[in-house]
Chains A and B, each alone.
Chain A
C-alpha cells in the first residue's frame, strides 16, 4: 500500500512538470540559457531508489506477491546539445534489489539518451527517453534484454556549472526469450526516483 502511494505521488509530480514548464517558458523566451544552447555538454549523476511495479504476465507457479524489494539505483549520463534545448547522449545505470528469498537482482542498463530541456533560472527542467540494452543478473545467471526508460526532472541551478535536483522515471524491461524458452518471456516495470546533480560544460 505504501509502495503504491509513493509511486502515485511521484507520478503526479512527473505529470506536473509541464505545468511548471509553462511558467518557465515565459522567461525562457527572452534568452536560451547557455547550458541549453547547441554545443553545450552535461554530465548527470543520479542516486536513488528503484521500485518494482510489475512483472507481466503473471506466473501460474507464483505463490507470493511482491517477491522483489525496493532497490538502490544509480546512474551516469552524458549529454550533448545537438540543438538548442535538445540533447543526445548515453547513459549507464545500475540497480540492486533483494528478492524474497534473499537473492540479489542486478540490473545494469546501457542506453542512448535523448532529452529536451527548458526553463533555466533558477530552475530548469528536462524530459527524456532512453533506449538500449540491459544486463540482468540474478545471483549469477542472467539475460541481456532491451531496455527503455522515460522520465524527467527538475534542477535548481546552483551556479553556472552545477545544478541539483531530482529525477523520476519509468523503466521498462522486456525480458525476451526465444525458441523453446519463449515461455520465460516477461515484461518488467520499475519506478525510479533519484537525487541528481548536473555538471554543465
Chain B
C-alpha cells in the first residue's frame, strides 16, 4: 500500500494531451461571459417550442405562421408585458373554412390583404381545398370549383404568390411509385399548368418570384423562367448562359427577386448567382473568396432598412450547414468586396447582438424568412429540435431609433 512512485510523468503527459485537445475549442472572438451577461429573456408561445415553421404571411390585421396548422396573431400587440419586460404575443389557431382539424399544405399572402391556404386532410393528405380569405379568416372561398379536377390525383406541397398570381406546387405519384412534381397557377377562374415544361418534374419547385416582367422559379436542379405575354403563363427551364444548375457538388437552395428586380439564386456549395441585364454572374461568398465546404447557402430575403452607417440593402441568406451552426448571414451584395463571414448573423444589424443571435436563431435550420409589407418586421421560421427553444422569432425596425430590435421569440 501507498508505495508507488508519484506518477508525475504520466500525469504531466495526460495534462499536455488534454490541454492540446481542449485548446482546439478556443475562439478568441467569442466572449462566453460577455454572451451570458448580455442575454435577454426569450419568452415565446408554447406553440413554437420544438416545432417547425414553414411559411409566414400577413393580411391587414394579422400575421400568420404555418406549421402543420396555421396560427395567427394581431399585427399590433396590446403592449402588455410579462414580468421581465417581454412583450406578450398571443398566437391562436386559425380555422380554415371552419375546420380546425386539418393539415396546412401551403400558405401565402398577396401583400394586398388576401390570405391563401391549401388545406388537406390530416391523415391522408388529400386536398380539402385551396381557400382564400380577405377578412382574416371570417369567410373563405374555395378556389377549386366543382368541375376543376386539377388536383384530384395530386398532393399540394407549397403555395406561392408572385406578380398577380397564385401558384401551386404539387406532386403526384406515378405507377412506378415515383413522385412527379408540377407547377400550376390560378388564372382567376381555375388552375392551369404553368407551361408544358412544368409537369413531370423530378424535384419540387421550392421558390418562385416575379421581377416585373418574368416569373422565376427553381427546384434544386435548375431555374425556370417565363412570362404571361400571351395571356397565359408559360414557364420553361432557363437557357441563359451561366444559369445555375445542379452538379455533383451543387444544389440550388434559394431564389429571390430583390428591390431592384435582380434575381438571386443561392447554392449548396456557397455560390450566389445573380441575374441582371439579361446575364447571370456568380461568385463564391465565403470568407476566403473561394469555395468553402463549411458554408451551405439557403433561403434568401432582402432587408432595406437599417442603421445609416451600415451598407444597405443586404440579403439575409440562410446557412444550411450544421457544421457552422445553421442560422444565416447578412450580405450587402452590392459591395462585392464584402465576404459573407464578415457579416455573419451574430454581427449583423438585425439580430440585436451576438448574444441574442446565439440564443435564438443560431443552431437551427432556417425554413423561411418573411418581411412585412412595410418592411419593418422581419420574421424567421426555423426548425427547432430543442424542447426549450422556439421556431419563430421576429425583429422589428424602429425608424425613430434607426435600428432593428433584435430577435425576439414569438
Contacts and interface: CB of A to CB of B under 8 A. Distances in A.
A181 B42 CA distance: 27
A68 B32 CA distance: 11
B6 A177 contact: no
B39 interface: yes
Interface stretch (A13-21, A54-62, A118-126, A163-171): A54-62
A158 interface: no
Contacts of B360: 101
Nearest to A57: B37
B22 A135 contact: yes
Contacts of B14: 90
Contacts, number: 141
Interface string B184-226: 0000000000000000000000000000000000000000000
B32 A138 contact: yes
Interface in A71-91: 78, 80-82, 88-90
Interface string B355-376: 1101110110000000000000
Given A90-B11, A142-B25, A103 B39 contact: yes
A52 to B, nearest CB: 9
B11 A64 contact: no
A186 B30 contact: no
Q: Size class of B's contact patch?
A: 35 or more
Contacts of A89: 11
Nearest to B37: A59
Contacts of A102: 42, 359, 386, 388-389
Contact of B22 (A62, A110, A140, A188): A110
B176 interface: no
B37 A136 contact: no
Contacts of B11: 78, 89-90
A135 B25 contact: yes
B28 A179 contact: yes
A105 B15 contact: no
A59 B37 CA distance: 7
B25 A81 contact: no
B113 interface: no
A55 B33 contact: yes
Interface residues of A, number: 52
A68 B38 CA distance: 11
A64 B40 CA distance: 7
Given A59-B34, A64-B40, A139 B359 contact: yes
Contact of A139 (B25, B26, B42, B358): B358
Contacts of A61: 37-38, 353, 355
Most A Cβ at <10 Å: residue of B18, B35, B38, B359: B35
A63 interface: yes
Most A Cβ at <10 Å: residue of B6, B33, B358, B362: B33
A103 B7 CA distance: 39
A55 B36 contact: yes
Interface in B1-52: 1-4, 6-7, 11, 14-15, 18-19, 22-23, 25-42
B84 interface: yes
A41 B29 CA distance: 41
Given A101-B40, A110-B18, A181 B33 contact: no
B373 to A, nearest CB: 30
Interface in A42-58: 55, 58
A188 B32 CA distance: 10
B325 interface: yes
Nearest to B386: A102
Given A55-B36, A184-B34, A39 B2 contact: yes
A186 B27 contact: no
Contacts of A100: 39-41
B283 to A, nearest CB: 27
B200 to A, nearest CB: 43
Nearest to A39: B2
A144 interface: yes
Given A137-B25, A181-B29, A41 B2 contact: yes
A177 B31 CA distance: 8
Nearest to B325: A140
B45 to A, nearest CB: 15
Most B Cβ at <10 Å: residue of A37, A90, A133, A141: A141
Contact of B84 (A64, A110, A177): A64
Contact of A144 (B23, B40, B355): B23
Given A61-B38, A175-B31, A90 B15 contact: yes
A147 to B, nearest CB: 11
Most B Cβ at <10 Å: residue of A68, A103, A108, A133: A103
Contact of A142 (B30, B38, B355, B362): B30
A89 B29 CA distance: 33
Chain A to chain B: the 10 pairs with minimum beta-carbon distance, closest first: A184-B31, A101-B359, A186-B33, A39-B2, A59-B37, A144-B26, A141-B30, A40-B2, A102-B388, A61-B38
30 contacts: A40-B2, A59-B37, A59-B38, A61-B37, A61-B355, A63-B40, A64-B41, A67-B36, A78-B11, A80-B6, A90-B11, A90-B14, A98-B388, A99-B359, A101-B355, A101-B360, A102-B389, A103-B35, A103-B359, A110-B15, A110-B22, A138-B35, A139-B362, A141-B32, A142-B25, A144-B22, A175-B31, A177-B31, A186-B34, A201-B1
